[in-house]
Structures are given as structure tokens and as C-alpha cells.
Amino acid sequence: MSAIAPGWYDDGHGALRWWDGQQWTEHVQPHPQGMPDPWQRPRTTPAPETSSQSPEATGDTAASDGVPVAQDAPSGIFVAATAPQRSRTWIIWVIVGVAMLVAVVLAAVLIPLAILGFGRVSAPAAVEPTNDDERGAVEAVYQFDEAWQTADCDLFLGVTTERLREIVQIKDCATFAGQSEAFTEWYSDYEIV
């Protein structure tokens, strides 16, 4: 139990706050004398004795102007009537953490898929040639490939022009045979589509 009786006390900020004997309440009213010096104890005057008051009434319970006043009121110290608000920055940290987790999961899934080629384009379906020129071009490609795989110099000379042989620097059958062997060693497993 508190030694200070319930009543209106200076809150140190120019107002009166109600002390219920245990704690400060949220009830506040303006100070009747204006803004007193917060470091000075409020001065109370005892209420005049009247015949309607009982002899037990003291300055602690006596009313003056409808406001009870205590003899030894604490002043200069303000006790918060409400608990301080807790910081809500944890919400921001939770949102940032969830966003980071989603980013890591997406990276863990999408990077390997991108490396392995999830958008890999399959080979186009074979298209049959529609005229003699297209059939001749397709046949030339197959003969060119067969010449490289079998090192057939006569077939190579038959399907290529002299200008192409100058560009790839194959002017005679000996050069072609050497490059054809190297080609078949390096590129043994391929398919013409």
C-alpha cells in the first residue's frame, strides 16, 4: 500500500493527474493556478471548517472547489499513465527476411534450370523438300557430310566449288584426307537434321 493518499497531484507539466493510491491514472485536468513551477511543491490550504464536515475529515479528503487536495503531494516527477509503445520495426525485418528467403529459393531453382537449359529449343521437325532445287541442296549436304566421314576426296571435289575449297584452304586431296581424319576424331557423334 502506498503512503500517499489518493488525489489530484501536479504532474510536473502544468496539469493535475489523479493518483488512486496505487498508481497514476489517465485522468488529467488543467491546473487551477495556471502553470506552476514544476520544482516547487504545490501549496495547499486547509479547507475552512464547516459544521457539515465530520471531525475525521482532513486535508487529504477535504474538498476545496470540488477538487480533493493532498497535503504531501509529489511534484516534479511524472509517471506515465500508459505503458510505452513497443517498436514495430520487427515487422519490417520479418518482411525483409521473407523476401530474402524467397529470392534465395528462386535463385536455387532458376539458376540450375537456366544452366541446364529449361528453355532448350528442340530441333525443328524435318521438312521435306518441295521442289528439285531443294532436293538437290539437301542431297549436296548429305554428300558433303559423307565425303568428310569417309575421307572420299572425289566426292568432296564433286559437291564443292573451287571458291569454297579456297576459303577452307583445301586445295588438294592430301590436305582433305588429313583434315577429314581429324574431323572424324573430334566429331564422331553428330547428326544432320
Task: State mean pLDDT over 33-48.
Answer: 54
The answer on 173 and 157 residing in a single domain is yes
The answer on 79 and 5 residing in a single domain is yes
In the predicted structure, residue 185 carries a pLDDT above the cut 80: no
The answer on 80 and 90 residing in a single domain is no
Q: Which residues contact 53 (CB under 8 A, 6 or more apart)?
A: 47, 62
How many domains would you assign to the chain?
3
The answer on 137 and 63 residing in a single domain is no
Q: Give CA angle at 20 (17, 22), nearest 5°.
A: 115
Task: State mean pLDDT over 133-154.
Answer: 86
The answer on 97 and 163 residing in a single domain is no
> Which residue, among 123, 127, 12, has the nearest Cα to 74 in the 3D structure?
12
The answer on 101 and 149 residing in a single domain is no
The answer on 55 and 33 residing in a single domain is yes
The answer to whether position 42 is within a domain reads yes
Which tens digit of pLDDT belongs to each residue from 84-114?
A: 678 889 999 999 999 999 999 999 999 888 8
The answer to whether position 127 is within a domain reads no
Q: What percentage of the chain exceeds 70 in pLDDT?
A: 64
DSSP labels, 119-182: TPPPPPPP----SHHHHHHHHHHHHHHHHHHHT-HHHHHHHS-HHHHHHTT--SHHHHHHHHHH
> What is the pTM assigned to this prediction?
0.33
Q: Which of 94, 121, 148 is the last residue of a domain?
A: 121
- Helices 173-186 and 132-150 sit at what angle, rounded to 10 degrees? 90
What CA–CA distance (Å, rounded) separates 13 from 38? Answer: 7
pLDDT top residue among 51 and 137: 137
The answer to whether position 192 is within a domain reads no
Task: State mean pLDDT over 66-80.
Answer: 55
Q: For residue 103, what pLDDT is reported?
A: 97
Task: State mean pLDDT over 69-83.
Answer: 57
The answer to whether position 191 is within a domain reads no
The answer on 171 and 111 residing in a single domain is no
In the predicted structure, residue 43 carries a pLDDT above the cut 60: no
What CA–CA distance (Å, rounded) separates 79 from 11? Answer: 8
> Which residue, among 130, 146, 148, 129, has the nearest Cα to 138 in the 3D structure?
129
Task: State mean pLDDT over 117-144.
Answer: 78
Q: Could you list the residue range(s) of the whole structural domain that residue 48 is in? A: 1-84
Q: For residue 96, what pLDDT is reported?
A: 97
Task: State mean pLDDT over 23-37.
Answer: 74
